[in-house]
Chains A and B, each alone.
Chain A
Amino acid sequence: MNTKTSNRINELFESNSKDVLSVYYTAGFPELGDTLKIAQYLEEAGADIIEIGMPFSDPVADGPTIQESSKKALDNGMSLRILFDQLADLRKKVSIPVILMGYINPVLQFGISKFCAECERCGVDGVIIPDLPMAEYLALYENIFLEHGLKNVFLITPQTSESRIRLIDKHTNSFIYMVSSASVTGARDLLGNQQRKYFERVQNMQLKNPLLIGFGISNNETFKAASSYSNGAIIGSAFIKLLQTATNLKEQIKTFVKDIKA
């Protein structure tokens, strides 16, 4: 087993380790057929990583915005089967790293092996499954993930102990998702003192993996602030809010990304 196999995520951080912007959106939202189109627009607009949400009926780690986009996507008929159909041509159209994010139950029902094989076939680089416990991942799934060249991304929070962060760092070969505060997903405007202290503490741990900060990053100001303590940041709810009302996806996504990165 070679845990060192490099993929697009590793290559990205080798060439660019500052102000990396990762953007999250829900597959099949606002319309069922929008998934791939939005990925293309994001790449064209200058995003560095794309996180595609696999909608679930009971997203306990998500705030109202992503709850609503998930519900809409499911009402639109989104499923893993359809998502992998939509992503069949992903690598003809998109060259930046793509990560799937979602809850474990739909993945288990799809079948872990089949899921990993489909990810590999479509050129998906990594997976974030917040409710997949590390112990289960290591015991049951790590080998399958690695066989298919998939990187598993773990979350850490302000309450995660130093020893656990070190353990997560050891079992990661992509980046660590640093949740900005004790909270579910959702856009907020400010990064407080507490958060800055936590960012500094983790920054000083000199981990081997890059860090991206997510949850509550919503605009240029929070993006820049978060990036100053890490390799970049992840925007989700704020982007979903744009999608909810966008009339010209291509143009508005371009402006959104430009403003964030400015």
Chain B
Amino acid sequence: MADSEIKLVYFINQAGRAEATRLLLAAAGKKYEEVNVNLEQWLQMKPTAPCGTLPIIEIDGKRFGQSRAIASYLAREFGMFGKQNLDGLKIDQTAQVAEDFVLEFANKYYFAKDAEQKAKGAETLKKETAPKYLGFFEKYIQEEGTGFIAGSELTLGDIVVFDVCTGFLKPFVDDCLDNFPLVQALIKTVESNDNIKQYLAKKKSP
């Protein structure tokens, strides 16, 4: 992997389903090329996309889809997938729960049929959905007892939690974050990672 050439393809100016991968690559200090497309370019690309969706990762010319699969692969390459199989289960569990949250966002808000539904959806997401999912993360961290999702060092599981709370779901999470101290502490831990600090600073002023 140290010598592998990585290309990440995603939409222009969107954190979305690529951000966890970007955070991972940043944490690992791995250089990669990013190709951004607009909707028109994507529609031309779509018929030959490996899974029909974005993001796509190209690893030494081989292309793969499915954002969670991509992130897990990279995490394993970079030694950020825990030390034993049970760590892997905890990390996968976290990533897939985050995926459930994204789906609720999609159903309640993104695909809402009119402004009224959208507003109702946003309220539900803030008042019920976000607390439910942050509650899961809080429990995972509490169970592990180390401040991390799995084991005692930064893994993909922690990056997933960070991405949920600071990425495109942030507007729905902000109101209730104060009720989840362990999640808040984990966010600070991730932010304090040198490589991630640099990545976040660069994002603010590119």
The yes or no verdict on A and B being binding partners is no
- Which residues of A come within 8 Å of B, CB atoms? none
